[in-house]
Chain A
Amino acid sequence: MLTIKDLKASVEEKQILNGLNFEVKPGEVHAIMGPNGSGKSTLASVLAGREEYEVTGGEVIFNGEDLLEMSPEDRARAGVFLAFQYPVEIPGVSNANFLKTAVNEVRKSKGLEALDSKQFLKIMQEKMKLVEMDKAMTQRSVNEGFSGGEKKRNEIFQMAMLEPSLAILDETDSGLDIDALRIVANGVNALRDGKRSFIVITHYQRLLDYIVPDFVHVLYKGRIVKSGTKELALELEEKGYDWIKEEVDATLNA
């Protein structure tokens, strides 16, 4: 589904991703962990097509297509979804209206007819249940005045509405209380159908108790420096990153 080869990217002349390799197959859940500033959000932004991030090398193939050649909206329409670490507020635009526009754009790109208000409302109600979202939230402006946790939950709600084939969750768990964490994780799990893939960026192994990953990777200095299974996350929780940093820095200096 997604193949990343030797990906290099920089922002404001500063190289952040230094030859990153990574593969995601349909239905897999990959967790990406790593110290602050190691390039996790940068990777997410590059995959989503954010302009400020300049790709300086490597390639990304998504479902057989060159992802890096596509505009951000085309990537979204092709099924790439990013749950933002810092969701953006759009004053005056209701969540419902925003999502209706988005859903219909995605449908249009697939040659499907636009949903009318009634059909849309029906689907929205179903998905709201999935993340135990309050009806009032859909009428409020996109993320405006939402608490940190509400914003994150709203991202998952949007994901449920858009039904992407690849969802990238950037620290969706941070800022969530214990109940919200469970709700969000349940939402994600409900969308795991054996075909849809996830890249879950997180600092906490706790989330991975709920969303059990197939693989865990450590990103450090713009590279995947260690990959493993669920157990790796436990090990990191216990030992921190120092031992990995030392290993990597030793090889870099050698």
Chain B
Amino acid sequence: MSDDLKILDDVANSEYKWGFVSNIESDNAPKGLNEDIVRFISAKKNEPEWLLEYRLKAFRHWQTMTEPVWPNVTYPKVDFQDIIYYSAPKPKVQLDSLDDLDPEIKATFDKLGISLEEQKRLANVAVDAVIDSVSVKTTFRETLLEKGIIFSSFSEAVHEHPELVKKYLGSVVPYTDNFYAALNAAVFSDGSFCYIPKGVRCPMELSTYFRINSAGTGQFERTLIIADEGSYVSYLEGCTAPMRDENQLHAAVVEIVSHAEAQVKYSTVQNWYPGDKDGKGGIFNFVTKRGICLGYKSKISWTQVETGSAVTWKYPSVILKGDNSVGEFYSVAVTNNMQQADTGTKMIHIGKNTSSTIISKGISGGRSHNSYRGLVKINKSADNARNFSQCDSLLLGDQCGAHTFPYLEVSNKTAKVEHEATTSKVGEDQIFYCNQRGISTEDAVGLIVNGYCKEVFNQLPMEFAVEAQKLLAISLEGSVG
């Protein structure tokens, strides 16, 4: 913990500390996208026929679709033929122990502050790390296997547990869902897979770190989490990317299946490179995350801290199918400089007595735009459904924008839905009060904003919360002025 803090302290002085490029040799597909590329990816991964078929169907469907234009963001059109869809660190060998890891990759993790050994020893976190497209190492697997928990790269799961992958892949986010979900289904490279058997409480946090490293590549990872009846898992996801002048595309899909009385807690700290002060470069983060509460009292909780990316387009959602199931969405979205975020959630109530909570804190500085977009849908069948939504926006200057787009569709009279929204500015009075106690304006803003986000940070595991707080302070540097 103290080591972690030291790392984080070093961080606090840099602008975007994750902006290094690692000198890892990689094995790339040629640029562009067509059926051959899809076949190339599938062949590279030695995939079974059914998965190739799935990819091809998705690809053909994707070709019929157009990019969504409804989000409140503007960005140059992505040239999908100018992207490398597969990039693997080379040489790709099966790793049996951490010692076999490419030293450069290991160095990358060290720079990220996630020395795998440290993580293993100190934090008791099992880590799967995905660089560019390929999952590099999953720690702690054996320990987890004793409990019957499967935590591996997606590719490995395809080979080792094809029945599970086949059953659940696309069951929550079908490739027909949206443009980027279809693209992902066609070209997804790797990601994490997790299965918690009946009645098992996962004894540690499971964690995935995603990193885009190579230039000109897109990252399309796919995560699938299945919590069988009565199980529990807390899952963490962290993301970083190098600083580059061009925009890079990240289009991931996360699917969560929570069976009866199972609980899944999914936390993200997203810190993709946001571009420079003038909006040059940065990641386009177009992500589809959705979970389904399948049974009685299933629960899915999303917590996200979004500080990075040039453009974010992301709506972690929950389908509340089982009776008495619970969906939660806790979000902090920070935009500074020229960043744009359009993020929020969808809570779809189908089962009886289902309930959902939405707490969203949007913070905008610089000339950024920050939109909350949320749908609460209560189906006819959802007797006694409840939702509470609170969407707060905090403005740190007068050139930024905060927007709220709440959508409400209620088809059952017994529903109880509450929505609260506030917009505020960091008060001069608050800053002066801090100044008068010896705290600089920059630190004061960090402190005040962190206080503002407390309800959300409280949902994060301890280590992650500390990291998130530091991140927030860094992202907000120079935002008030």
Contacts and interface: CB of A to CB of B under 8 A. Distances in A.
Interface of A: 48-51, 71-73, 75-77, 81-82, 84, 87-93, 97-99, 101-102, 105-106, 109, 141, 158, 162
B178 interface: no
Interface stretch (B111-119, B249-257, B377-385, B449-457): B449-457
Interface residues of B, number: 23
B80 interface: no
B430 to A, nearest CB: 5
B46 interface: no
B451 A72 contact: no
Contact of A92 (B432, B433, B441, B454): B454
A54 to B, nearest CB: 15
Contacts of A162: 437-438
B430 A76 contact: no
Contact of B436 (A48, A92, A93): A48
Contact of A87 (B428, B433, B439, B443): B433
Residue of B429, B436, B448, B452 with highest tally of chain A CB at under 10 A:
B436
Given A93-B451, A101-B443, A158 B437 contact: yes
9 contacts: A76-B436, A82-B436, A88-B432, A91-B451, A93-B447, A93-B450, A105-B437, A105-B443, A162-B437
B440 A105 contact: yes
Contacts of A141: 451
Consensus secondary structure, chain B interface: helix
Nearest to A141: B451
B427 A93 contact: no
Given A51-B432, A73-B436, 13 more contacts: A50-B432, A72-B432, A77-B438, A82-B436, A87-B433, A92-B450, A92-B452, A92-B454, A92-B455, A99-B437, A105-B438, A106-B438, A141-B451
Contacts of B427: 88
Interface in B399-439: 427-430, 432-439
Residue of B430, B432, B443 with highest tally of chain A CB at under 10 A:
B432
Interface of B: 427-430, 432-441, 443, 447-448, 450-455
Contacts of B437: 76, 98-99, 102, 105, 158, 162
Given A90-B447, A93-B447, A49 B433 contact: no
Residue of B447, B448, B452 with highest tally of chain A CB at under 10 A:
B447
